Amino acid sequence: MKLKDVVERLHLSVLTGQDRLDQVVTGGYASDLLSDVIANSRPNSVWVTMHIHENIVAVAVLKDLAGIIIVQGRQPAPETLQKAAKEKVVIMVSDLPAFETIGKLSPLFEGGT
Amino acid sequence: MKRVTEKTFSQSFSIVGREFFDAGKVSTEIKTMLKELGVDAGIIRRIAIAMYEAEMNVVMYATEATVTLELSPKAIRIVVDDRGPGIPDVELAMQEGYSTATTEMREMGFGAGMGLPNIKKNADHFRIDSVVGKGTRLEISISMN
């Protein structure tokens, strides 16, 4: 599945990395503890989080994540967007809370990552 | 692409404490460098996890640190030497779930008490020496095999 398909199915707003939506996504990871994401997320996954501060960008870069989905319609800080644009990290926003966002995301990847 | 020769490759980096905007910069630089050198992806992933945790510890608690990266055909060695408050009880700090992070740090998603344990889990060799009031020296190495 391509990232643009995830964007379409979940009705996400893409704030940065619009030119990277053709990349393949193999799964997802949801957590608001950065150490957990660093330790346990897998490359090419999308990360679902509440966080909007700039430190989420480095986590996505280090783990080769396909992108970050910020939930609850929260708007990232300007520094986050600036950094994400520089590092070519895709930041997307879901208007739904985490539970519903993950609920819609999860069936897209059933049958293995 | 550069190649790792018999000779050890070495480079130093600086981390400034409390600079949250730049946090993760050194880890990202090291990851990029190892990728360019053709290091195995699995090893890079372990280094990235350990290095990020070490960098965040410096950013959260210390004043500054010097990171030395050494690469030989056999292993990657990283030393993070910081000037900072030190760790009064290293054994306690090594326990999963234990954290001295402030409310502000926790709100940013830090303070899970997973930092040092994550570093240890991803390293083949792990050593930490700390002097209260002076600083902490962390040394890890990961074998290339």
Q: Cβ–Cβ contacts within 10 Å for residue B1, how many?
A: 6
pLDDT of residue B135: 98
CA distance A59 to chain B (A): 8
* d(C-alpha A29, C-alpha A15), whole Å: 20
Q: What is the mean pLDDT of residues B62-81?
A: 97
Q: Which domains does chain A have, with CATH numbers?
A: 3-109 (3.40.1390.20)
Domain count, chain B: 1
Q: Inter-chain contact A55–B25, Cβ cutoff 8 Å?
A: no
Residue A10 has pLDDT above 70, yes or no: yes
pLDDT of residue A28: 97
List, for residues B85-125, the tens digit of each pLDDT value. 999 999 999 999 999 999 999 999 999 999 999 999 999 99
Percentage with pLDDT > 70 across chain A: 97
Q: Cβ–Cβ contacts within 10 Å for residue A41, how many?
A: 22
Joined together, the tokens standing for residue A45 give: 């996954």
C-alpha torsion sign, points A76, B108, B12, B71: negative
- The residue range of the domain holding B128 is 9-143
Q: Is residue B3 part of a domain?
A: no
List, for residues A52-104, the tens digit of each pLDDT value. 999 999 999 999 999 999 999 999 999 999 999 999 999 999 999 999 999 99
Residue B2 has pLDDT above 60, yes or no: no
Nearest-Cα residue of chain B relative to residue A84:
B21
Give yes or no for B114 touching A (CB within 8 A). yes
Residue A113 has pLDDT above 50, yes or no: no
List, for residues B11-62, the tens digit of each pLDDT value. 999 999 999 988 999 999 999 999 999 999 999 999 999 999 999 999 999 9
CB B65 within 8 A of CB B83: yes
Give yes or no for B119 touching A (CB within 8 A). no
* Residue that has been written with the tokens 């190495």 in this structure: B141
Chain A contacts of B56, Cβ < 8 Å? 34
Q: Is residue B26 part of a domain?
A: yes
Residue A1 has pLDDT above 90, yes or no: yes
pLDDT of residue B1: 47
Q: Is residue B76 part of a domain?
A: yes
* Residue that has been written with the tokens 């280090």 in this structure: A62
B97-117 CB burial, b ≥16 within 10 A, e <16? eebebeeebeebbbbbbbbbb
Chain A contacts of B121, Cβ < 8 Å? 39
pLDDT of residue A43: 96
* d(C-alpha B102, C-alpha B111), whole Å: 8
pLDDT of residue A110: 85
Residue B6 has pLDDT above 90, yes or no: no
Give yes or no for B56 touching A (CB within 8 A). yes
Q: Inter-chain contact B110–A36, Cβ cutoff 8 Å?
A: no
pLDDT of residue B145: 81
Residue B64 has pLDDT above 80, yes or no: yes
Q: Inter-chain contact B110–A35, Cβ cutoff 8 Å?
A: yes
What is the residue-averaged pLDDT of chain A? 96
Chain A contacts of B110, Cβ < 8 Å? 34-35
Of B20, B28, B115, the CB nearest to A35: B115
How many distinct helices (H) and strands (E) make up chain A? 5, 5
Give yes or no for B77 touching A (CB within 8 A). no
Q: What is the mean pLDDT of residues B132-138?
A: 98
Residue B133, domain CATH: 3.30.565.10
Q: Is residue B2 part of a domain?
A: no
CA distance B73 to chain A (A): 23
Give yes or no for B21 touching A (CB within 8 A). yes
